[in-house]
């Protein structure tokens, strides 16, 4: 095991094999996973970060990631099959990787992101992250997701998960509107900052004392995959700059908007970033 080191942001979550079936026809096979999307934002903005992830022996994108995953012999890489229709995205799981263990967290960080895509961040791993970082941000999918008998991704109520007692370890919990339906919003916001993403309607920042509504940046959507990940990365960037929550959310909305304009992990053009967010 390498010696412990430190960084500004520690990304804890997996790379994936994504299979994107377009409503207009055709299938795209590409690198996916929160670790890939969040790293794209951090790489573009120069954030000093590290990634803790695991993958199977079949991992196909080692040449596309700056921080390679730990390969677990005898296992497969998480594979998501996203089917897009004119009104919704249906998400299935074709394979699941091993879990990220507490002993895999060997970095200290100013901010750590729990961004598992399919239950790979264990409760004890989340606790370990909180012990070695100043703040922990979590994506609700990391806490809520499960798979039914048909391989479809579902969200469990937070109170039915082992993460329910761990909200005190989080500085921020990000959830989509669908995920927020599995939360007791009043109870969550009383314990931590809850940020609910609302697509074209922007996002809501909910704390015990205030509610902020932050509008979206209008763009033409091509593929919604990874928008929440890039949003979370943008919010983290704002926190690292010690910005107030509302401004963090503005920056997060901008990065989330850039993600939906491209298929797969986006290439970001920071020259388009509004001057107010630089």
DSSP per position, the chain? -PPPEEEEEEEE---EEEEEE-TTS-EEEEEESHHHHHHHHHHHHT--EEEE-EE-TT---GGG-SSPPEE-TT----EEEEEE-SS-EEEEEEE--PPBPGGG--EEEEEEEE--SSS-B-HHHHHHHHHTEEEEEEEHHHHHEEE-TTSBEEE--GGGSTTGGGGGG-SEEEEEHHHHTTS-HHHHHHHSEEEEE-GGG-EEEE-SS-EEEEPPPP---S--TTHHHHHHHHHHHHHHTT--HHHHHHHHHHHHHHHTTSSSSPPP-GGGS-GGG-
Alpha-carbon distances of 126 from 129, 179, 259, rounded to whole Å: 5, 19, 26
Tracing tokens 């299935």 back to the chain, one arrives at: 92
Taking the C-alpha atoms of residue 67 and residue 131, their distance in angstroms, rounded to an integer, is 22
Taking the C-alpha atoms of residue 82 and residue 80, their distance in angstroms, rounded to an integer, is 6
Which of 18, 139, 223, 229 is an active site residue? 229
| CA 257 distance to own-chain centroid | 15
Active site residue 160: no
Q: Which residues are catalytic?
A: 229
């Amino acid at each position: 095991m390498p010696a412990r080191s430190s960084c500004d942001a520690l990304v804890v979550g997996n790379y994936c094999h994504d299979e994107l079936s377009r409503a207009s026809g055709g299938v795209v096979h590409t690198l996916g996973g929160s670790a890939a999307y969040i790293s794209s934002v951090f790489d573009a903005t120069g954030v000093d970060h590290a990634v803790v992830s695991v993958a199977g022996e079949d991992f196909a994108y080692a040449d596309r990631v700056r921080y390679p995953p730990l390969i677990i012999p005898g296992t497969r890489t998480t594979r998501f099959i996203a089917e897009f229709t004119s009104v919704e995205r249906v998400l299935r799981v074709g394979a699941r990787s091993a879990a990220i263990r507490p002993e895999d967290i060997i970095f200290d960080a100013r901010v750590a992101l729990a961004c598992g895509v399919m239950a790979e961040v264990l409760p004890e791993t989340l606790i370990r992250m909180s012990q070695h970082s100043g703040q922990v941000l979590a994506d609700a999918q990391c806490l809520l997701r499960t798979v039914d008998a048909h391989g479809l991704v579902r969200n469990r109520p937070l109170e039915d998960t082992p993460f329910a007692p761990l909200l005190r370890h989080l500085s921020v919990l990000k959830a989509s509107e669908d995920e927020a339906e599995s939360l007791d919003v009043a109870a969550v916001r009383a314990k931590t900052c809850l940020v609910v993403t609302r697509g074209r309607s922007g996002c809501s920042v909910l704390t015990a004392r205030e509610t902020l509504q932050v509008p979206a940046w209008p763009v033409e959507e091509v593929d919604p995959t990874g928008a929440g990940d890039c949003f979370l990365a943008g919010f983290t960037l704002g926190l690292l700059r010690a910005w107030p929550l509302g401004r963090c959310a503005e920056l997060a909305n901008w990065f989330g908007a850039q993600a939906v304009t491209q298929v797969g992990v986006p290439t970001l053009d920071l020259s388009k970033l509004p001057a107010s967010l630089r």
